Amino acid sequence: MRITLKVNGGTYTREVEGHRTLLRFLREDLGFTGTKEGCGAGECGACTVIMDGKTVNSCMVLALEADGANVETIEGEASAGKLSVIQEAFDRHHAVQCGYCTGGMIMSVRDLLHRNPKPSVEEIKEGIEGNFCRCTGYQQIIEAVLDASGQLGEGPGQVREGRLEHA
């Protein structure tokens, strides 16, 4: 079947087979390899993209289901060579180590901040509960989200000295 969809603002029309997942379609047919496959079963969230304004695990969506949809991936986060506020905060707080989870993680964070611009630590934890990170232990990611949402008054040096305990 032939599908047409938008990815990060660009329009793409392709022939796809019924059993092709949106994840494989994005990676292999369109070359958006920032979206990763981890578990392939909706547990890890490395494949998270935003489809019509909602986060989804792209490993569990068929490409055909995305016909006519507006899809956003990590490749759409930076613009004109400049990192987004969320990406900068991830960089500043060392919320990226191996980087495999980061593409999906940032999609979940973007969606969380869209729904809830000033999330509490508990709300951040819930917002990223579908995204596993095996490197950071999450602390740096939570700090980055607090920073990206303007909830850390001082510079990043302050954060690392235990502000999070009472954040």
* Interface ranges with other proteins (CB under 8 A): 1, 17-21, 40-43, 45, 48, 54-57, 59-62, 64-65, 108, 111, 125-127, 129-131
Kindly state the smallest distance separating residue 79's Cβ from other proteins, in Å: 24
Kindly state the smallest distance separating residue 41's Cβ from other proteins, in Å: 5
Task: Kindly tell me which of 113 and 152 has the beta carbon lying closer to other proteins.
Answer: 113
Kindly state the smallest distance separating residue 114's Cβ from other proteins, in Å: 12
Residues 6+ apart with CB under 8 A from 89: 95, 144, 145, 147, 148
Q: What is the CA radius of gyration of the chain?
A: 16
Kindly state the smallest distance separating residue 59's Cβ from other proteins, in Å: 8
Could you tell me whether strands 10-15 and 2-7 are parallel, antiparallel, or unpaired per DSSP bridges?
antiparallel
- Strands annotated E in the chain: 2-7, 10-15, 48-51, 54-57, 70-72
Q: From CA 128, how far away is CA 109, in angstroms rounded?
A: 7
Task: Kindly tell me which of 57 and 140 has the beta carbon lying closer to other proteins.
Answer: 57
Kindly state the smallest distance separating residue 56's Cβ from other proteins, in Å: 6
Task: Kindly tell me which of 42 and 99 has the beta carbon lying closer to other proteins.
Answer: 42
Task: Kindly tell me which of 76 and 104 has the beta carbon lying closer to other proteins.
Answer: 104
Task: Kindly tell me which of 115 and 160 has the beta carbon lying closer to other proteins.
Answer: 115
Q: From CA 51, how far away is CA 143, in angstroms rounded?
A: 26
